[in-house]
């Protein structure tokens, strides 16, 4: 009975390890494809810079 349990545990550990490796590879592929660099939509550079700098008058006008 102990041999069966030991074999079962080894198989379980191997399967979990394989699943984790596959998930990490998939996550790395997704990151490489879609998140390779930060992007800012065209024409938004000034609005983003002003928002970060704290220029509230321009940001309030853009919402009107």
- Chain centroid to Cα 8, Å, comes to 34
Rg (CA), the chain: 25
Residue 43 covered by a domain: yes
> How deeply is 51 buried, as exposed, middle or buried, from its count of CB atoms within 10 A (0-12, 13-18, 19+)?
middle
Q: What pLDDT does 8 receive?
A: 83
Q: What pLDDT does 12 receive?
A: 93
CA distance 21 to 42: 37
Range(s) of the domain holding residue 18: 4-53
Residue 20 covered by a domain: yes
pLDDT digits (tens, 9 = 90+) for 6-62: 778 899 999 999 999 999 999 999 999 988 877 767 777 777 778 888 866 554 555
Q: What pLDDT does 24 receive?
A: 98
Q: What pLDDT does 13 receive?
A: 93
Number of domains in the chain: 1
Residue 62 covered by a domain: no
Residue 59 covered by a domain: no
* Maximum alpha-carbon separation in the chain: 75
Residue 39 covered by a domain: yes
Q: What pLDDT does 59 receive?
A: 46
Residue 47 covered by a domain: yes
CA distance 37 to 56: 28
């Amino acid at each position: 009975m102990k041999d069966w349990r030991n074999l079962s545990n080894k198989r379980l550990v191997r399967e979990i390890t394989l699943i984790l490796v596959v998930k990490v590879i998939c996550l790395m592929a997704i990151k490489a494809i879609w998140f390779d660099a930060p992007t800012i939509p065209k024409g938004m550079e000034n609005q983003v810079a002003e928002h970060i700098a704290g220029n509230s008058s321009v940001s309030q006008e853009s919402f009107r």
